[in-house]
C-alpha cells in the first residue's frame, strides 16, 4: 500500500540470512556473502599495530565513487576511520556490530547503513550533521533516548524490526525535516509521538500492538497500520491530505467515517477486518478520489450471486475506481492491450460480469431519466391546457334542454318537449360563433 519500502538493501546473489530473535517474533534480514577477495584481514591493520584504525589503502578496494561498501564483511567493531574525503554513503550493514562508534571524523556522510547488526543503543551520531538517511532496521534497539536529537537534516529513518516498546515525543523533537519513518515490526502500543514531526509524509507502523488513540493528524501522504489491533479508524484523527491508507488485518467494523476523515484518499486497503459494507458502502463512496480499493476478507455474502451483486454495487457507486481487490477496472482500450494475459479466475470472471451488468444498469437508468423528463413535459402541457378551460358554463341552458331533462311520468307516457333538431343546431352555431370564431 505504501508505494515503497524505502531502503531495502540486498545485493545481487544475496545468500546469508541475518536472524534476530525478538520477544514475540523473529525478524529476518537477507545479506550478501562476504566476497573472498575482500575479507576483514584485508581491510584492517596487523594485530601488532598500535593504532586501531582502518587502512585507507586497503579501504580503497571497497570504495566506489562516494560510497564505501563494507556490507557483510564480518565486522564486529567499527574501528576508527582516517578521514576519507568525498565519502557520502557508508555501508556497514549485515555485520556483527554492537556499538555505533568512531564516526566522528566522517561528518560529510549523508547516508549511513547499519541494518542487520547487533546494535542495542543509538549513540555517537551527533557529529554527523549532514546525515539524511539512517537505516537501523533488524537490530536489537529497545529505546531511542537522545540518540537522534541532533540529526536535524535527517529525512528518512528506518527502525523497523527492532525491540521498541515505547517512543516519546522528546525523542523525535530534533527531527524537523524527517519525511519518512518506518517503525513497523516492534512492540509499540502508542505512536502519538510522531505528531511532533512537522514534515512527516509517510509512516509505516505495521505489525505492532496499536489499539487506542493514535491521532496522526500530521502525516500527509501515506500511512500503513496493518496487522495491529485497531477497532476503529476514528482514533487516527482527520487526515485531509492523506492519499494512501493501509488498515489490513485489524479489527475494524465500520468505514462510515472515512469520507470525512480522509476526503482525498486514493488508495485504501481494509482487507481482513470485520466490516459489513452493506452499511458503509454509500459513505465510502463519498471518497471521490478513491481509485484503488482492497476489501477482501470482510463480512460479505457467500453465494456467487450475492458477491456479484456486491461488486456491481461498488462499481456503480464508485465509477472512478481503477482497481478492486487487485483486479483492474475501467481500463481504456490501449491500457487493456498493455495488461498481461492471465488465466481467468472465478473472481475476475465475476468482476467482468459485474462491470457489464453495471454498464447495462447505467444505460437503463439514463433511458428512465429521459422518459421521466418526457412525461413531465407532457403532463405540464396537459396541465396548462386544463388551466385555460373556463371554470363555468359561458351560457345559460335553454328551456328546451330543461324540458328534455324533465323526469319521465310514472304512468309511462312520452315526455313533452318542444325541442327540435334544427333549433339545437342553431344554438350550437350561435355558441361557436360567439366563443371560438376570431
- Domain extent listing, the chain: 11-209, 225-335
- What superfamily would CATH give domain 225-335? Ribonuclease Inhibitor (3.80.10.10)
DSSP line for 211-244: -S----TT--SEEE--SS--S-SGGG---TT--E
Interval 207-262: pLDDT, tens: 999 987 777 877 889 999 999 999 999 888 888 999 999 999 999 999 999 999 99
Instruction: Give the separation between CA 292 and CA 210, rounded to whole angstroms.
Output: 25
11-209 and 225-335: identical CATH topology: yes
Tell whether the model's pLDDT for residue 435 goes beyond 50: yes
Residue 55 pLDDT class (50, 70, 90 cuts): low
Q: What is the pLDDT of residue 261?
A: 92
pLDDT of 54 over the 70 cut: no
Q: Identify the DSSP state of 53.
A: B
For the segment 80-96, what is each residue's pLDDT rounded down to a tens digit? Answer: 776 667 889 999 999 99
Q: State the average pLDDT over residues 111-137.
A: 96
pLDDT, one tens digit per residue, over 338-360 is 544 444 344 445 555 555 666 66
Angle at Cα 384 formed by Cα 379 and Cα 389, nearest 5°? 125
pLDDT at 344: 39
Q: Which CATH number fits domain 11-209: 3.30.565.10, 3.40.50.720, 3.40.50.300, 3.80.10.10?
A: 3.80.10.10
**Of the listed ranges 15-24, 143-152, 210-219, 241-250, the one predicted with least confidence:** 15-24
Question: 89: exposed, middle or buried (C-beta count within 10 Å: 0-12, 13-18, 19+)?
Answer: middle
Predicted confidence band of residue 427 (pLDDT cuts 50, 70, 90):
confident
Q: Which residue has the cell 360563433?
A: 433
pLDDT recorded at residue 315:
84
Contact 211, 231 (CB under 8 A): yes
Over 50: is that where the pLDDT of 34 sits?
no
Mean pLDDT over each residue of the chain, to the nearest integer: 77
In this predicted structure, the answer to whether residue 333 has a pLDDT above a threshold of 60 is no
* Residue 311 and residue 324 in contact, taking contact as beta carbons nearer than 8 Å: yes
Tell me the pTM: 0.68
Amino acid at each position: 500500500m505504501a508505494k515503497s519500502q524505502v531502503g531495502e538493501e540486498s545485493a545481487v546473489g544475496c545468500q546469508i540470512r541475518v536472524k534476530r530473535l525478538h520477544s514475540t517474533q523473529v525478524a529476518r534480514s537477507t545479506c550478501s556473502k562476504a566476497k573472498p577477495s575482500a575479507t576483514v584481514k584485508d581491510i584492517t591493520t596487523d594485530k601488532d599495530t598500535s593504532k586501531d584504525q582502518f587502512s585507507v589503502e586497503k579501504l580503497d578496494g571497497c570504495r566506489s565513487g562516494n560510497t564505501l561498501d563494507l556490507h557483510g564483511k564480518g565486522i564486529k567493531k567499527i574501528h576508527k576511520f582516517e578521514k576519507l574525503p568525498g565519502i557520502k554513503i557508508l555501508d556497514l550493514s549485515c555485520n556483527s556490530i554492537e556499538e555505533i562508534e568512531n564516526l566522528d571524523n566522517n561528518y560529510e556522510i549523508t547516508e549511513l547503513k547499519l541494518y542487520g547488526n547487533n546494535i542495542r543503543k543509538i549513540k555517537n551520531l551527533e557529529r554527523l550533521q549532514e546525515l539524511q538517511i539512517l537505516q537501523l532496521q533488524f537490530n536489537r534497539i529497545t529505546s531511542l533516548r537522545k540518540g537522534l536529537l541532533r540529526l536535524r537534516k535527517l529525512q528518512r529513518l528506518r527502525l523497523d524490526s527492532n525491540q521498541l516498546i515505547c517512543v516519546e515525543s522528546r525523542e523525535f523533537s530534533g527531527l524537523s525535516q524527517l519525511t519518512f519513518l518506518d517503525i513497523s515490526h516492534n512492540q509499540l502500543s502508542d505512536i502519538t509521538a510522531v505528531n511532533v514531526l512537522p514534515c512527516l509524509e509517510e509512516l509505516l507502523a505495521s505489525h505492532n500492538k496499536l489499539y487506542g488513540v493514535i491521532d496522526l493528524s500530521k502525516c500527509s501522504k501515506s500511512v500503513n497500520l496493518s496487522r495491529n489491533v485497531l477497532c476503529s479508524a476514528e482514533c487516527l484523527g482527520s487526515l485531509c491530505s492523506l492519499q494512501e491508507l493501509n488498515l489490513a488485518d485489524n479489527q475494524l467494523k465500520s468505514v462510515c467515517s472515512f469520507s470525512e476523515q480522509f476526503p482525498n484518499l486514493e488508495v485504501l486497503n481494509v482487507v481482513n477486518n470485520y466490516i459489513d459494507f452493506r452499511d458503509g458502502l454509500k459513505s465510502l463512496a463519498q471518497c471521490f478520489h478513491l481509485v484503488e480499493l482492497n476489501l477482501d476478507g470482510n463480512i460479505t455474502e457467500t453465494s456467487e450471486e450475492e458477491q456479484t451483486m456486491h461488486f456491481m454495487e461498488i462499481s456503480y457507486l464508485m465509477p472512478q475506481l481503477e482497481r478492486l481487490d487487485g483486479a483492474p477496472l475501467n481500463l481504456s482500450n490501449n491500457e487493456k492491450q498493455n495488461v498481461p494475459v492471465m488465466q481467468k479466475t472465478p473472481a475476475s470472471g465475476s468482476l467482468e460480469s459485474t462491470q457489464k451488468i453495471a454498464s447495462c444498469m447505467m444505460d437503463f437508468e439514463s433511458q428512465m431519466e429521459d422518459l421521466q423528463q418526457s412525461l413531465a413535459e407532457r403532463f405540464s402541457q396537459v396541465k396548462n391546457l386544463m388551466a385555460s378551460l373556463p371554470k363555468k358554463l359561458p351560457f345559460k341552458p335553454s328551456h328546451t334542454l330543461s324540458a328534455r331533462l324533465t323526469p319521465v311520468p310514472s304512468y309511462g307516457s312520452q315526455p313533452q318537449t318542444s325541442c327540435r333538431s334544427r333549433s339545437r343546431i342553431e344554438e350550437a352555431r350561435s355558441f361557436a360563433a360567439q366563443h371560438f370564431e376570431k
